[in-house]
Amino acid sequence: MRYIVWALRLLVFIAVLMFALRNTEPVNVNFYADYVIQNVPLIVVMLVAFVLGAVFGLLLTVPASLRRRREAIRLRRELDRIQATGGDAAAAPVAPETIAPMSPL
């Protein structure tokens, strides 16, 4: 299975390399306010657009990741507290939100 994954990675790399070698023509990049960068290779423009898209996509996942991390820490503390008391469930009443947390939506 490992060899299949490496062969697939090699094929993708070769395809991207061939694509890059075929798209080296210089292009003009126009920004707002009549600002122009001239003679930039097309593959550089495409690479920058891909990297910016990946960065923005990762930034969009940060809030959910932080929320999951906080929830895991809260649940770990709750588990430690329950284990420290000996797991006696009848000793203290349990709020419904502890068993099934309410969704923020």
Q: Quote the pTM value.
A: 0.57
Q: Using one digit for the tens of pLDDT, what is the confidence trace for 17-27? A: 888 888 889 98
Residue among 48, 53, 45 at smallest CA distance from 24: 45
How far is residue 66's CA from residue 101's CA, in Å, rounded to a whole number? 17
pLDDT band at 104 (very low <50, low <70, confident <90, very high): low
**Alpha-helix runs per DSSP H in the chain:** 2-22, 42-84, 96-99
Q: What is the pLDDT of residue 16?
A: 85
